[in-house]
Chain A
Amino acid sequence: AQSVTQPDIHITVSEGASLELRCNYSYGATPYLFWYVQSPGQGLQLLLKYFSGDTLVQGIKGFEAEFKRSQSSFNLRKPSVHWSDAAEYFCAVGDRGSTLGRLYFGRGTQLTVWP
């Protein structure tokens, strides 16, 4: 079965600092890969996705993620964090071999940004 691990439950960074959120997955092949962000009282917003092709994908709000097949990882990065980036971030995978659009989520990483 697919599983997603986000090893960092909570990360704190200063505004303007760089950010990397880790995500590892367990899957028999290369799944579809996603990062979502959830602000308090809000639903999930898609930041970026990887289906195939270039392993470095660009998303909204200045985020990017790199797929590394050898490490089964899909880490999210941002070169300079803004206070408005404080939120919870979820990594998710989708089963490439399934006709069902089911997503498997990690437990999330809470990001705090210090001014």
Chain B
Amino acid sequence: ETGVTQSPTHLIKTRGQQVTLRCSSQSGHNTVSWYQQALGQGPQFIFQYYREEENGRGNFPPRFSGLQFPNYSSELNVNALELDDSALYLCASSRASGASYEQYFGPGTRLTVT
């Protein structure tokens, strides 16, 4: 069984640019959640996707957007990057929608905004 994978591992962007992060779900999982983990903090929920639609959102502005594809992989897009967007971005997949707390996390993408 393949685990959750994320790409790229690291990237550096300039303020104002746009970035796309990718996540491949664990086999058999149809729900993907994205979290932002700033340095020294716990992860913060960004949003969740189920069956290619946004299923819920945390306290993040609209410039954070996402997609989920028919194979349940997902993208996180961030427009107009700000310095405070520098963080580790984690995705987590789970088997079902609803209160599915059996979430499996990927290793994350470390984004640095300069």
Contacts and interface: CB of A to CB of B under 8 A. Distances in A.
B48 A106 contact: no
Contact of A101 (B42, B44, B58, B94): B94
B55 interface: yes
B68 to A, nearest CB: 14
Contacts of A29: none
Contacts, number: 70
Q: How large is the interface on B (under 10, 10 to 19, 20 to 34, 35 or more residues)?
A: 20 to 34
A84 B2 CA distance: 24
A101 B4 contact: no
11 contacts: A36-B105, A44-B90, A90-B42, A92-B42, A98-B99, A99-B97, A101-B103, A105-B35, A107-B40, A107-B41, A108-B42
Interface of A: 4, 32, 34, 36, 41-46, 49, 90, 92, 94-96, 98-108
